Amino acid sequence: MTGPARRLGEGGCGRRPRRLGRAARMAVALSALAGALAGPVAAQGPGERSLLDAHNAYPYHGQWRDRLERAIATGLPLAIEQDLSWAVDPETGAGRSVVAHEEPFDGAEPTLAESFFERLRPLVEPALGADSHGDWPLVVLNLDVKSEGDHSRHHREILATLERYRSWLSSAPRSADGSPTPIDWRPILVLTGSSDAQERTFRDEAEGGDLLLFGAVHDAGLDGDGVPLPRRATDYRRWWNQPWQVVEPEGQRAAGDWTPDDAGRLRRLVTRAHNAGLWLRVYTLNGIGEEGSRERGWFAGYDFGSLDAVRERWRACLETAVDFVATDQYEDLAVLRAGVVQ
């Protein structure tokens, strides 16, 4: 983290600030990159760093176009989520992978290259040319494949996009027995979901044997208190994705006080993930109220109702070393993280 985040765009719970233009936001991002490159290479394994995970950092139906820049302006390293849907042209029947949460599609939805990679080019190219590798990966890209359409076609298109940016991406060799292999760190690390169909394309059919993205593990069951157990990491499956309800079963909207039992469930979840060789992501932790969520295009079901309530959960996640803490309140979590993570 390169310093306290600025409150931009839809972020923040107080008086709405003046928006910065895209050029100004990218200047902030480049400043963040310079700070990241100045430091030594940090450990990237499970439990080594706890990052802001910028939930749904892309426009919805043309609205809220500044989310990616807002996320980057909070500082590096960080995680960024992009949802991928399979959009079929009703006239031609041709399908393509687009960054979008859901239908209806109007044909103007951007591709992953347009929405993410090309907009990060001003950050990645200086990182590749620097003498210091800084804190690689600078960005963890979390792909949430919402609609898969024809599985093989959509997955092959995703993989073809990643191949175009191979020199930017962290990779690892595929092992004969599926055991984890060392990651060759680059500026971007790509994660994807737990789909077995994705594993067939992204791992089993990977040309040359190098894996360019890494899937989530399936749950291995539940303990006596209903807290999930993970499967162990493999060469391809490197992380664990869990909804907040596994920590507070009543969910965000009905959550009361943060209790020792809640804290205990969170600690067990984190310990199990890291002992299994996995990064852990929890989602999604907001605290702005239903009206504020609606105005910003966020889901009210993820909201604890107040900034104080969500800050308590964010702090618990950071102090227990949750690897990726997903929120729509990028700036607010970044400010808290700057004070907790040294």
Cα separations (Å) of 19 from 11, 16, 33, 151, 239? 10, 9, 21, 40, 35
Poorest-confidence range of 146-160, 171-185, 264-278? 146-160
Domain range enclosing 266: 22-340
Average pLDDT over residues 142-167: 89
Fill in the DSSP letter of residue 101: S
On whether residue 126 sits in a domain, the answer given is: yes
pTM of the predicted model as reported, rounded to 2 decimal places: 0.88
pLDDT for 102: 85
Tell me whether residue 15 is in a domain: no
The pLDDT value recorded for residue 91 is 87
- Give the pLDDT mean for 267-289: 98
Cis geometry, peptide bond prior to residue 40 (ω within 30 degrees of 0)? no
Write out the two tokens for 325: 């803490």
Q: Predicted confidence band at 68 (pLDDT cuts at 50, 70, 90)?
A: very high
The total domain count for the chain is 1
Q: What is the CA radius of gyration of the chain?
A: 19
User: Does any domain span residue 282?
Assistant: yes
pLDDT in tens, 145-155: 987 656 789 99
> pLDDT at residue 31 above 60?
no
What pLDDT is attached to residue 127? 93
**What pLDDT, on the 0 to 100 scale, is given for residue 288?**
96
pLDDT at 101 over 60: yes
What single letter denotes the amino acid at residue 172?
A
**What was the pLDDT predicted at 7?**
33
Q: Is the pLDDT of residue 274 over 60?
A: yes
Q: Please tell me the predicted confidence (pLDDT) of residue 9.
A: 39
Report residue 289 as tokens. 């109220």
Domain annotation covers residue 91: yes
Residue 214 lies in a domain: yes
Instruction: Tell me phi and psi for residue 123, to 5 degrees.
Output: -95, -40
The answer as to whether 250 is a domain residue is yes
2: phi then psi, degrees, rounded to nearest 5: -100, 5
Q: Is residue 212 part of a domain?
A: yes
Q: How far apart are CA 28 and CA 32, in angstroms?
A: 6
The residues, ordered by sequence, that sit 6+ positions from 14 with a Cβ below 8 Å of its Cβ are 7
Cis peptide, bond prior to residue 137, ω within 30 of zero = yes
Average pLDDT over residues 205-230: 93
In this prediction, residue 13 carries a pLDDT of 45
Lookup: tokens for 115? 């929405």
**CA–CA dist 221, 237 (Å, integer):** 17
Q: Are strands 324-327 and 279-283 parallel, antiparallel or unpaired?
A: parallel
* In-domain check, residue 1: no
Residue-wise pLDDT tens digits, 123-134: 999 999 987 776
